[in-house]
Structure 1
């Protein structure tokens, strides 16, 4: 699960008004690291499901996303 603030959810993240340069660089770095780690895990054969913190408000939608990813895996589909 990715925190909306710390991982910069594009649907709701807003740069804090103070120390803008620091936070912009920090969140961009977090996003780049997330992308790199996801790519590495996939290359190693893992199936990565990224879920935003705010998505947990709709538990059924999250469960549906996880079930769909599991079915793709079972059926041998790649994402």
Structure 2
């Protein structure tokens, strides 16, 4: 016999707020994508850089092997803006710790496979972040062209 679904959220209000959190196409992500696109760069959205690894990057430049992750300040423990949860604090502290551990593991695995990982915090100016992404993409493309000769 199946049990009725019991949400783990601390209250109905928290549950509604949590359901409103998007995993992609967030405002910061759309702003970054617009800024990168405006610089003339084309990319893939929401792709696994390594198909065998269950990790999805926000922007992926497949030919030059660059994966861009836009990390939320709360979810990934931003040193500048992360705030401790008032309710269920031990659960959230552990959740953020696991997210950070997974981020480090992702960075390592992608680097081992020849990928460059760029991590951007959601609070960063999207135009400045796009300039950083653009510079690294152009640098990587230039290196690829010179190594083929």
Please give the range of the TM-score, normalised by the shorter of the 2 chains. 0.7 to 0.9
* TM-score of the pair, normalised by structure 2: 0.46
> Is 1:28 the equivalent of 2:83?
no
Structure 1 unaligned runs (5+)? none
Higher strand share: 2
> Taking CA–CA contacts closer than 8 Å with sequence separation of 6 or more, which of the two structures ends up with the larger relative contact order?
1
Describe the SS at the equivalent of 1:50: strand
1:44 is aligned to 113
Q: How many angstroms does 1:65 deviate by?
A: 1.0
Aligned length: 74
| Counterpart among 77, 95, 105 of residue 8 in structure 1 | 77
**Alpha-carbon RMSD:** 1.4
Q: Distance in 2 between matches of 1:50 and 1:59?
A: 12
Q: Identify which of 58, 70, 73 aligns with 2:137.
A: 70
Moved >4 Å (runs of 4+): none
Higher helix share: 1
Greater Rg over alpha carbons, structure? 2
Q: What TM-score does the superposition give when structure 1 sets the normalisation length?
A: 0.82
